[in-house]
Amino acid sequence: MKLDILVFGAHPDDAELGAGGTIAKEVSLGKKVGIVDLTRGELGTRGFAEIRDTEAAKAAKILGVEVRENMEFADGFFVNDKKHQLELIKIIRKYRPEIVLCNAVDDRHIDHPKGSKLVSDACFLSGLVKIDTKLEGDENWQEAWRPKQVYHFIQWKNLKPDFVLDVSGFIDKKTEAIMAYSSQFYDPNSNEPETPISSKNFIDSVNYRARDLGRMVGVEHAEGFNVERFVAVDNLDSLI
């Protein structure tokens, strides 16, 4: 199945927190979107891998994505090496996305910038024809494929975006998808330990960042992204 957009996150919930509004909007525009989580988030203080699998599936359904896969890399310890790059090249060639979204280029959690660079490197390498890959159980060699653009969403740190996308009208769906991860986020009845992302302030901050980015460009809500190279526009009117 060919996808228009493939979203990578180091942990289940990264895609929703960083780009949930963008995903919901692109799906509503008829785009085929998929999510690939690099790990099962098994080192998270709250919950455990099986709970997070269920939550991730629920969130994917809310957002309306075509597919969600998990690479089952080691949470906290995966590295950006040939072995991990080849696994991601296989996924990129399998879905042949035009655009890839991935983790923040700089962040509090070490897996975020690490996953960001790993995905970015894999997107480049996936375009090299002399790298031969096959999907497990398939006799055919995969064709080389390089996405047109790799955009990095913004997570814990308030990075300055290179562009913002208007997600007005999709913030409720984003919040609903995030709250599908009930083990991770604010729940006044939970007996689990407090974490940096379990406070009410954190979940509120996701919303007020979107409102603030929206305010800056004259819309209700927006999500910000960093780019690796210039974003070209067709004409000056294509800017909002």
Q: Which of 3, 8, 12, 14 binds Zn ion (CB under 5 A)?
A: 14
Identity of the residue, 9 or 214, whose beta carbon is nearer to Zn ion in the bound complex: 9
11 near Zn ion, rule: CB under 5 A: yes
From residue 71, how far is each of 90, 114, 144, 147, 200 by CA, in Å? 11, 15, 20, 19, 30
40 near Zn ion, rule: CB under 5 A: no
Distance between CA atoms of residues 169 and 2, nearest Å: 27
State which residue has the least CB distance to Zn ion: 11
Distance between CA atoms of residues 165 and 224, nearest Å: 6
User: Phi and psi (nearest 5°) for 166?
Assistant: -70, 115
What is the nearest approach in angstroms of Zn ion to the Cβ of residue 11?
Answer: 4
Question: CB under 5 A: which stretch of 2-10, 67-75, 122-130, 183-191 binds Zn ion?
Answer: 2-10
User: Tokens 């690099």 belong to which residue?
Assistant: 38
What is the nearest approach in angstroms of Zn ion to the Cβ of residue 13?
Answer: 7
Identity of the residue, 93 or 112, whose beta carbon is nearer to Zn ion in the bound complex: 112
Question: CB under 5 A: which stretch of 8-16, 68-76, 191-199, 201-209 binds Zn ion?
Answer: 8-16
What is the nearest approach in angstroms of Zn ion to the Cβ of residue 84?
Answer: 17
- Helices 200-217, 171-179: inter-axial angle, 10-degree rounding: 160
CB crowding 125-134: b at 16 or more within 10 Å, else e: bbeeeeeebe
Question: CB under 5 A: which stretch of 12-20, 92-100, 119-127, 200-208 binds Zn ion?
Answer: 12-20
Q: Which two tokens stand for residue 194?
A: 């407090």
Question: CB under 5 A: which stretch of 13-21, 82-90, 119-127, 165-173 binds Zn ion?
Answer: 13-21
Identity of the residue, 177 or 219, whose beta carbon is nearer to Zn ion in the bound complex: 177
Distance between CA atoms of residues 157 and 155, nearest Å: 6
Kindly state the number of chain residues that form the binding site for Zn ion, as judged by CB under 5 A: 3
Distance between CA atoms of residues 185 and 194, nearest Å: 9
Identity of the residue, 50 or 196, whose beta carbon is nearer to Zn ion in the bound complex: 196
Identity of the residue, 9 or 147, whose beta carbon is nearer to Zn ion in the bound complex: 9
Hey, which residues does 226 pair with through a beta bridge?
152
What is the nearest approach in angstroms of Zn ion to the Cβ of residue 219?
Answer: 27
Residues interacting with Zn ion, by CB under 5 A? 10-11, 14
